[in-house]
């Protein structure tokens, strides 16, 4: 499965009410590091299919959600479990580090 695009309107259903952990990538078109980690997130979405959902929310098009969660820099990656933030990372990181982090925080 590919990454899931979420919006301010769909965030509650797609992320907070999800039965599986969700990694949310807060990003923007103009953000170089965001574009840098995009392909790795797509690969991770396929590798963790059925175990963890990888979601992306464009902060320019959807300003309410980043504001609600205090996103100040991008890319910001947050893992949600049971409707709550389980952990947060700010900045780009290699795919191997993202995979390690996802496995540690979600126990998959």
pLDDT in tens, 26-39: 999 999 999 999 99
Range of the domain at 77: 4-106
| Count of the separate structural domains present in the chain | 1
Q: pLDDT tens across 22-71, in order?
A: 999 999 999 999 999 999 999 999 999 999 999 999 999 999 999 999 99
Q: Catalytic one among 15, 24, 31, 74?
A: 31
Mean pLDDT of the chain: 95
* Residue of 15, 23, 34, 71 with catalytic role: 34
pTM over 0.85: yes
36 is catalytic: no
Give the 3-state DSSP-derived string for the chain, with helices as H, strands as E and coil as C. Answer: CCCEECCCCCHHHHHHCCCCCEEEEEECCCCHHHHHHHHHHHHHHHHCCCCCEEEEEECCCCCHHHHHCCCCCCCEEEEEECCEEEEEEECCCCHHHHHHHHHHHHCC
Catalytic residue flag (residue 31): yes
CATH of the domain at 63: 3.40.30.10
């Amino acid at each position: 499965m590919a990454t899931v695009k979420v919006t301010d309107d769909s965030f509650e259903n797609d992320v907070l009410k999800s039965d599986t952990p969700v990694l949310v990538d807060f990003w923007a078109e103009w953000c170089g590091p965001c574009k840098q980690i995009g392909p790795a997130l797509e690969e991770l979405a396929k590798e963790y299919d059925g175990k963890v959902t990888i979601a992306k929310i464009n902060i320019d098009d959807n300003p309410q959600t980043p504001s609600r969660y205090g996103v100040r820099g991008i890319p910001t990656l947050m893992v949600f479990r049971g409707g709550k933030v389980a952990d947060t990372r700010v900045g780009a990181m290699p795919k191997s580090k993202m995979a390690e982090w996802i496995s540690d925080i979600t126990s998959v």
